[in-house]
Structure 1
Amino acid sequence: MRRARLIVIGGAVLYSTWLIASLLGSELSPLTSFVSEVGASGQPYAKLFRATDLLAGTAFVVAGALAWRAARPAPWTARGALIGLLVLGAATMCDALMPLSCTPTADAACAAREAAGLVPFTHVGHAVSSGIAGFGGVVAVLGWALWRRGSGFDGARLPLGAGLAFLLATAWTLVAMLEPALYLGLAQRAQILALTLWLVLVALPPRARPR
């Protein structure tokens, strides 16, 4: 289980690489752009961001598989959380392998081509895999919360808070997808940051976890 914890933390670090995009020359608006647009064709260091996403997804899948094997037998809620982690990892890998060909939130011509269906199939594939990744995160957080509820949240209040923040940010992101004026980019960044923090806090050994 220790290996799985370390791999999750490593994956979370890789999953956060987008935070340095602006330092590497990205001019995408953090208020309106999708996080995955940093890996779109033509963006600064796009291949770096795709590679770190691919490695992060791989780490989550490997960690989930190791934890599944080590946790037998385990309650269905714990297994549900691990399934969510596996889904998150696999979908994140797909995200990296199906990059956007342009940046629809920053390029009006790209947005018009996307609306007309004149962009590569990777745009649709990327949208689907991103949605599945978010779903996997929700399943992981809810499964973990239900599992922890049985034994209480003593020593796990910070992960619980991060999980609740992720669920709220996910709801905000879904609403902002229908009404972009609600700062879709900011909502998605809050969602991913909360999920990343939750992953790290859950992966920390109980004695090392902040209370």
Structure 2
Amino acid sequence: MIEKGTVFILNILVLQVWCMDAKKLGLFSIQCQSSSSTTKEEYAMVTPIVILFLLISPLVIHYVISHLKSTSPNVQKFACWGLGLAYLFFFIGHFVKTQGMVEMLPAWIPYRLALVYLTGILELVVGIALFIPKYQVRAAKAAIAMFVLFFPANVYAAINSIGLGGHQWGPIYLLIRGPLQLILISWAYFLCIRQHTGKSKHDASLA
């Protein structure tokens, strides 16, 4: 099951890279209007790359070290660390790019600023919990729930071409954000939750 999950994640990663390359090469009919809009597009391209880098780096580094030491890799632990880094990055965004976050919420939602801060704090809590072994599975489940619940804000922002970075491209940005969301959810489920479940069953069979 873990191998199938890894293949699924890799397939989505390929789609993610293709979407970003296609946008960069101009295969989508979106034109820059000024140097400032170019800067926004460059920022929008960088953000998904940063998220993916934070997500996979701990596990890749751990795999390399494990291979050099000829030890078995602890996939679940370091996959959770990568997800934790991604969540800490999300948390920072809520407090550094606050206005852009507020714009991603419909005007009819009350207390939008307070909601941005509150969800940022929740992301901080989940991010920290993903580094603590006994909370990792519950934190991964919470992360999946937040990915699902928060995604409508990404859809709203993209449809209305508002908010942060790539959302200003319009609906076409969902070709990048959608696969990225699937990568994050798949990572949390297959490598953080299912990996832990499989390890627990294996340990129980040896007891």
TM-score, normalised via structure 2 length: 0.43
By relative contact order (CA 8 Å, sep 6+), the higher-ranking structure is 2
TM-score w.r.t. structure 1 length? 0.42
- Structure showing greater radius of gyration is 2
